[in-house]
Amino acid sequence: MAGTRYLRFVIIAVIALAVVFFISSSPTSQEQLRGVANTVANKINEQLSFNPKTGDAPTGSKSIAQDITEDPLSDTRVEAPTSSNPKTSHPKPKVKADRVNATFVSLARNGDLWDLVASIQQVEDRFNHAYGYDWVFLNDQPFSDEFKKVTTNLISGTTKYGLIGEEHWSFPEWIDQQKAADVREDMKNREIIYGDSISYRHMCRFESGFFFRQPLMLEYEWYWRVEPSIKLFCDIPYDPFKYMADHGKKYSFVLSLHEYKETIPTLWDSTKTYMKEHPEHIAEDNMMSWLSDDQGDSYNGCHFWSNFEVGSLEWLRSDAYTDYFKRLDEDGGFFYERWGDAPIHSIAAALTLPKEQIHFFNDIAYYHVPFTHCPTEESIRVDRKCSCKPEDNFDWNDYACMSRRAS
């Protein structure tokens, strides 16, 4: 009986330590903490005042379980941490005071989990552990419990999971299904990447016109897009969201390149129609010279690679952008060709924003297969603890568009 009693004492001591740790992590005064410690000590003493012959505790005493579920500082009950809330052990971000209203956003499926985990870890380690920004996940199918549990445990901010409505992930009623099918078959025969994919077309249309309209995104002003299997090679010791807001920027990028022309044969025709319909949306100091080599008669294919972008949701929700998307959507090029969201975001930004509102994050070292942006300045690579090779930098590749960028 004595052995059992000592075992009970050990259990009580462990629980007591847990209570003190829990309360010490809350904003209580030292006086309050001493009161808690005294309460626990008295309870332990009561439990130790047992009859050595019978092993019985004093009659009329409450159980230790009753005591630890009551907050001695108030009349309310304390909810003990549970395994259903994996964030209870996650360290709190160090910097929060001057954050802007922003979120990371990822379009992903359950099967993307572990590739996305690698991206999340990069973002958290290199930046977000210090800021705790939220992360919105969007999917045309319900997210699994495993997906939610794993991602929530990794992210320092609040995680949110949205189900995309069918109206944003389907063929519009005006699309000729047979014509669209014939196009997919033709592109398959010509071995155009994703040429026969229906889901890829839905994805491009969604990223072009609907991700920023999702209910979970409506509460935010800024977004940072993150895709599976990306890498961040350098620490980011400042807040890119806040930099954008403080400096009047609306759209940003780290990589730019030429689009595969076979996927967008009539995109510029639709763009020119939009410019004629809405001259009021075209910024005076725009980047037309970056998009076109002949004063706007044709499109040279240059675009910002949208798998990384930090941007203004207010801009995407503006008439200038939504009128552009509406024109493109009605023309059907997402399904009759294979228009991507990258040239669409890029053309819209280059035409509707003054060029000073578009920012190149040269100091953010980034990789998305198969291209790398690595800062060439040694001082940046040393200060930011970069792990990329300058020789891998894509910026000055013949297929890149950096040398054309208007500054």
Catalytic residues: 309
The Cα–Cα gap between 396 and 379 comes to: 20
Contact call for residues 400 and 257 (beta carbons, < 8 A): yes
Half-sphere exposure of 134 (CA within 13 A, CB side): 17
For the chain, how many residues are written?
A: 407
DSSP label of 304:
E
Q: Report whether 214 contacts 167 (CB < 8 A).
A: no
Q: Which of 124, 319, 314 is nearest to 219 (CA)?
A: 314
Pairing of strands 309-312, 222-225: antiparallel
Instruction: Tell me how far apart the alpha carbons of residues 254 and 401 are, in angstroms, rounded to a whole number.
Output: 11
Where would I find the H helices in 190-277? 198-209, 240-246, 267-277
**CA 211 – CA 392 distance, rounded (Å):** 32
Question: DSSP characters for 334-395?
Answer: HHHS---HHHHHHHHHHHHS-GGGEEE-TTS-EEETTEEE----HHHHHHTT----GGGB-T
- Beta strand ranges found along 149-304 (DSSP E): 159-163, 222-225, 231-232, 251-253, 256-258, 302-304
CB-based burial label for 396 (10 Å; 0-12, 13-18, 19+): exposed
Task: Count Cα atoms within 13 angstroms, Cβ side, for 200.
Answer: 13
